[in-house]
Structure formats: structure tokens, C-alpha cells
Amino acid sequence: MASSPSSIHFSFLLLLIVFCPFSFSIEFNYPTVFNFGDSNYDTGIRIAAGLKEINPPYGETYFLRPSGRFSDGRLIIDFLMDEMDMPFLGAYLDFVGAPSFQKGCTFAAAGSAILPASPTSVSPFSFGIQISQFLRFKARVTELLAKGNKFKKYIPQLESFNQGLYMFDIGQNDLAGAFYSKTDNQVIASIPINLLEFETGISKLYEQGARRFWIHNTGPLGCLPQNIAFFGKDPSKLDELGCVSSHNQAARLFNLQLHALCTKLQAKFSNASITYVDVFSIKFDLIANYSRYGFEHPITACCGYGGPPLNYDSRVGCGQTKTLNGNTVSTNVCNDTTEYINWDGIHYTEAANLHVSSQILTGKYSDPPFADKMPFLLKLKF
């Protein structure tokens, strides 16, 4: 009997995980992880804040229910935490059920941008607000630790703030949102302003004792069905992959300047470790060579409305039922999420997140690159 596409894809992932020679110089034995960013790393803050409600089929692949994540399953941060033998990061605002923040937490919130929020912003939790939330978190932990060991199993130890890993993935929404009201040149001209705000946040964390920074660049936002549907109506605006050229060019220029900033910060903070991770190249390669990695649909949303080629309609989000032109319509969900890179038109599937995580952990997309010592056996679970 012939193998199904999903079984071939799964076999490929196993071969990738087991036989690829991964190597590291970064020590992954961190006591805590503190995470900042947008929906790519949001494990539940936007939902906990009451700003959004997500329904099935979100979370169906791994959690079997909506988990606060904008995917069918796990995010990149989940795979990375698992690789460090640490529990999934809880959302800072999600304190129902007495969660443990002993190993850190995430301040990342869907829709967040680097620049301060405006009245029309999707999320109030800008990068500056996330930094302020961290400062409040640290101050409160300090207060509780001063009262003895009663809360010890729920919160980090003070030394964990100096020894922990600080991870960042933010900036995509600054670029994507700007294209709706600015020209291409104006979007590109705004990049230094975004990065100045980002540098301010990093400096505040450094002043608080943070020394280990892991900074992801932004992905190829021109390849998201949401942006293709709105900005790609004119075929001349698309590249050979069917992605919006202007958006990807802006992302590349943003990343170029972000990389330069990381180099500057490393020189400025000589006793810190600042690692720049080229997620753009990983994701763009995945989309360009999707079949090589076992996928079948590079820019079609698994969960959406409208059918091929994008299966995306901004009026009917994943898991929703709406009335359009007097007719009741609902989104459709693909039968096999492992065949799709994109989940809902904006975010990636668990299968795609697994691939990106595995490539991050090769170390070859990082500056400085991981060296030849590997502290653990790569065992990403799918």
C-alpha cells in the first residue's frame, strides 16, 4: 500500500531530527526564560486579557482544544522550551489556577508591535508595555521572596533574572500595519524609529541584569495569505513564489538593520551574549522549497474561507461563522494540517513551527553561529 503524504512528511521530520548533525556553543541550561513578542510567541496573553476569543479548531492538533495560541498546535517557543527540558511558558496575565512562573513566562501578545500603541492598534501591549510588565513582575517576585520560601515553587529565584534567557520576536506587526496607510518608501523610512524603540527596551533589560539575549528577525510577511489577499491583487506586485514583493523587501531591510543593531549592542554590552537568529531565511526557504520538506501547500491557509489559492477572507476568520451577502458561511479546515505551512492566513501550523524550530537549532542561521558542542540530543516531539 502506498504511503500517505502525511506519513511521508512525518518520516522526513524524524530523519531530520535524528540524523542531522546539530551543534551549539550557546549553553541551553538556563534557569528561566523570559519571552517578548507578538502572536508568533503568544501562549495566551491576548486571550487572558479578554481582547480576543479563539474557538476550535485552534489547538486541535496538540492541545485538543484552544490553548490561547494562534495555531493548530504548538508554537516555535514551545518546541524550544521542550528542547531545553523546560515546561511550556505560561502567559504573564494568565494567573487563574495558580500557574508556576518558576521557569519564567511570556509577555508576548498577539497583535503587538514595537512602537507604542495608538487608538487604532490591534494590541495595547507594545514592546515598551511588555518591558514594563516584566519590570513589575521582577519587582513583585523580589517582594515575595523577601517573605520567605512560601512562594518559592511558583516564582523564579532572584539570580534567575541574571542567568535567564531573554527571547524576542517582534516587529512584524509594525511593518505589516504600516503598509495599510503608508507608501513603500515611508514604511522603509520608519524602520530606524522602530529599532530605536527596540534598543531602548533591550537597554532597560540590561540595566536590570539581563545578559543573555536571543533575538529573532522578522519573517517573510509578504508570503502570508492575509497580505497576498489585500496587496497582491495586481500580479505585478507578486514575486515568483506568489508573495508580495514590497512586504518581503521591507522585512529584509528591517532584518538588515536589526542585525546591525545586534552587532552594536554586543559591542556596547561586552559582558552580554546577544544572538541574532535569521528566521526569515528559514521561513522563506520553507515556502520556496515546500515540497522538499514534505509540505503540499505553501501559501494556502489550512483554516479559512474562500478556497484555493489562498483560502483566506478577512471577513471570516478561522473558526467563525458569518453572514455574507445574506448567506451564512463558515470557514473550512483542511484534513491534514501537516500538508500546510499556513494555518489561518496569518500564523503557521504546528508542522511548520516544528520545521522552523529544527532549523533554528542547527545553529547555522544564528550570529554568532552555534559551535561544535551540543549539550543535548535534539529530540523535538511531533
**CA distance readout (Å), 59 to 117, 230, 352:** 28, 27, 14
* Omega before 87 within 30 of 0, i.e. cis: no
Dihedral sign, Cα of residue 88, residue 92, residue 93, residue 95: positive
Amino acid sitting at position 278? D
* φ and ψ at residue 175, rounded to 5 degrees: -70, -50
How far is it, in rounded angstroms, from Cα 219 to Cα 176?
Answer: 11
Q: Is 290 exposed, middle or buried (0-12, 13-18, 19+ CB in 10 A)?
A: buried
> Mind telling me the catalytic residues?
39, 344, 347
